[in-house]
Amino acid sequence: MPNDFTHIRPARITDAARLAEIEIFNYRLNFYPIFRYDPFYFEELSVPAMTEEYRREPERILHTAVYDDGVVKGFVRVNGDEIEKLFVEPVLQNSGIGGALLSYAVEALGGKRLLVLEKNLRAIRFYERHGFHRTDRKQRVDDTNEFFIWMER
């Protein structure tokens, strides 16, 4: 049975603030506990600043699809065959939105590979449940002792 992508659409510039909000909340929830760098996560990383980045770099919007059932609840960004970002509003995680966005990224946008933080075990398990597998390729996170791992489908 084909996936139902009824609530998934291309992102629009008018979604910029909502995309920024979802991305920042996920960064704080998933990455702050690992990196613990307050100046970045609580000063530099702000909804107004990231919204402005989206508006200055419209190509980011062009590569993004949102889950919108009346409210934008998550998004996925694919560039070529790389899934660059996949975020769901934290309070709505585990409701099928991330799975729908990932299926859309694979089936409609050609996403086949992605980077995931090696310590983000929850994300790794999510991608494995959706047909991705870890590779032996790693990439250091700039100026840290942490690593991204490549996953492929």
Task: Give me the domains of the chain, ranges plus CATH numbers.
Answer: 8-111 (3.40.630.30)
Cα(136)–Cα(134) distance, rounded to whole angstroms?
Answer: 7
The rounded percent of the chain whose pLDDT value lies above 70 is 98
Average of pLDDT values for 65-92?
95
Average of pLDDT values for 113-131?
94
Q: Cα dihedral sign for 120, 31, 53, 70?
A: positive
pLDDT band at 1 (very low <50, low <70, confident <90, very high): very low
Give the model confidence (pLDDT) of 23-59 as tens digits. Answer: 999 989 888 888 887 888 888 889 999 999 999 988 8
Average of pLDDT values for 70-86?
96
Average of pLDDT values for 80-108?
94
At residue 3, the pLDDT reads 65
Cα(76)–Cα(86) distance, rounded to whole angstroms?
Answer: 4
- In sequence order, what are the residues at sequence separation of 6 or more whose Cβ sits closer than 8 angstroms to the Cβ of residue 37? none
- Token pair for residue 134? 């870890």
**52, 53, 59, 60: CA torsion to nearest 10:** -110
> How far is CA 26 from each of CA 4, 113, 136, rounded to the nearest angstrom?
25, 20, 26
